[in-house]
Amino acid sequence: MAEFTMELNDEQKEVRDWLHGFAADVIRPAAAEWDEREETPWPVIQEAAKVGIYSLDFYAQQYFDPTGLGIPMAMEELFWGDAGIALSIVGTGLAAVGVLANGTEEQIGTWIPQMYGDVHDVKVAAFCSSEPDAGSDVASMRTRAVYDEAKDEWVINGTKTWATNGGIANVHVVVAAVDPELGSKGHASFIVPPGTPGLSQGQKFKKHGIRASHTAEVILDNVRVPGSCLLGGKEKLDERLARARERAEAGAERVKNAAMATFEASRPAVGAMAVGTARAAYEVALDYAKTREQFGRPIIDNQGVAFQLADMRTQIDAARLLVWRASWMAVNGKPFTAAEGSMSKLFASETAKKVTAQAIQILGGNGYTREYPVERMHRDSAIYTIFEGTSEIQRLVIARTLAGMPIR
């Protein structure tokens, strides 16, 4: 087990500086354009593929960093560049992780390369879980997958929403209920291959922020996929469902807590995204305060402005500390006895909203215009308190954990 440290090693520093350079030289100059266009920034994704950032190998290397700091470091630097473009670059990873976590070796080898494509023909993938009536309440999922034994096919029907890359993806990973009576324990994940009949894009959402990231509904109308597209295989699914049916209520609560622990482990990465956006806004505000003069002196000489900047920097550093702690714990198998994953996501996401709002205030009228990036950063920051569990859900998880109550 790696010791917890706040000091990056030489290799990590090299990766951080490389990512920062890409964010500064490639992502940030394109941010305003793709925010206005509200389209997937394919040229930027292709540039990321050329240098090796848009690849499973890169994220696997960061994920398996024994210090736990690889992923949060990478997320912070990319989202420092721009949240919308960064989400377009890392969004495929959501689907890839779904396959890595649940798939067989054959499924991993077959489908993950198709998610990314290559530097000459980049592809994206989509992870489809949320539904119009099942966001935080995953047990209410209505999408159904029914097994057609005669043809060894699964027939999927339902509507997914808020899917990053939904409808434009080469490969979709779809979560569906195979035994609705078991609630969330009766769910399974399926690969929907490219060009499968019955899958279509529904509404594309015009969003408040992260506009360069494609978000849409995915409609599944009698979508048929081969039995081999059930992640993990049918034998494993049947065994899991049988255990769930036999489990006593106490055991069921235990399993729900284990599942929640999996979600907990992914939340620090979102916290790191929020830290990146907050840091970017703070740096703009700091530079502006040092150069903007009013009444014959820089506005940073004004105690009201200087104290705001002091609070902003303190909150950003505190958020990063929580994210790094939770990331280290997750990689090293430390239990989240106080919902530390949710703590990191909650504090970092709320910090991003607050810091970006303060940045606008420091820039005054300029901050309210699109001539300066803090306006966009503030719009982007709103998503962090919503996806991967709202701030209200994070507080609920933390409170129930502290009280020793089961997490539902």
pLDDT in tens, 364-374: 999 999 999 99
What are the Cα distances from residue 117, in Å, to 56, 92, 277?
Answer: 11, 11, 28
Band (245; pLDDT cuts 50, 70, 90): confident
Per-residue model confidence (pLDDT) at position 4: 83
List active site positions.
Answer: 388
190's CB contacts (< 8 A; 6+ apart) are: 145, 154, 156, 173, 174, 175, 176, 225, 229, 230, 231
Reply yes or no on whether the pLDDT at 259 is more than 90: no
Number of H helices, E strands in the chain: 14, 11
Q: What is the mean pLDDT of residues 138-156?
A: 91
Which pLDDT does position 94 carry in this prediction? 87
pLDDT, mean over the chain: 92
Confidence category of residue 251, pLDDT binned at 50, 70, 90: low
140 or 83, which is more confident? Answer: 83
How sure is the predictor about 248, in pLDDT bands with cuts at 50, 70 and 90?
very low
Confidence at residue 320, expressed as pLDDT on a 0 to 100 scale? 98
Per-residue pLDDT band for 261 (boundaries 50, 70, 90) equals very low
pLDDT, one tens digit per residue, over 170-224 is 999 999 999 988 887 899 999 999 999 999 999 999 999 999 999 999 999 999 9
3-state secondary structure of 134: strand
pLDDT in tens, 327-357: 999 888 888 889 999 999 999 999 999 999 9
Q: Which residue has the higher pLDDT, 130 or 253?
A: 130
Q: Give the predicted TM-score (pTM) of the model.
A: 0.91
Average pLDDT over residues 19-39: 98
∠ CA 174-209-173, nearest 5°, is: 10
What secondary structure does DSSP assign to 214-280, as a single string? -EEEEEEEEEEEEGGGBTT-HHHHHHHHHHHHH--HHHHHHHHHHHHHHHHHHHHHHHHHHHHHHHH
Quote the CA–CA distance of 402 and 385 in Å, as a whole number.
Answer: 21
pLDDT at position 139: 65
Statement: residue 115 has pLDDT above 90: yes
Q: Per-residue confidence at 98, pLDDT binned at 50, 70, 90?
A: confident
Report percent pLDDT > 70 for the chain.
Answer: 93
CA–CA distance, 73 with 12 (Å, rounded to integer): 8
Q: How confident is the model at residue 260 (pLDDT cuts 50, 70, 90)?
A: very low
pLDDT of 257: 36
pLDDT of residue 140: 76
Q: In the numeric block, which tokens belong to residue 187?
A: 């769910």
For residue 368, the model assigns a pLDDT of 96
Note the helical H segments in 337-390. 340-363, 374-381
Q: For the segment 32-79, what is each residue's pLDDT rounded down to a tens digit?
A: 999 999 999 999 999 999 999 999 889 889 988 999 999 999 999 999
Instruction: Give the Cα separation of 141 and 145 in Å (integer).
Output: 11
How would you class 227 by CB atoms within 10 Å of its CB: exposed for 0-12, middle for 13-18, buried for 19 or more? middle
* pLDDT computed for residue 136 by the predictor: 61
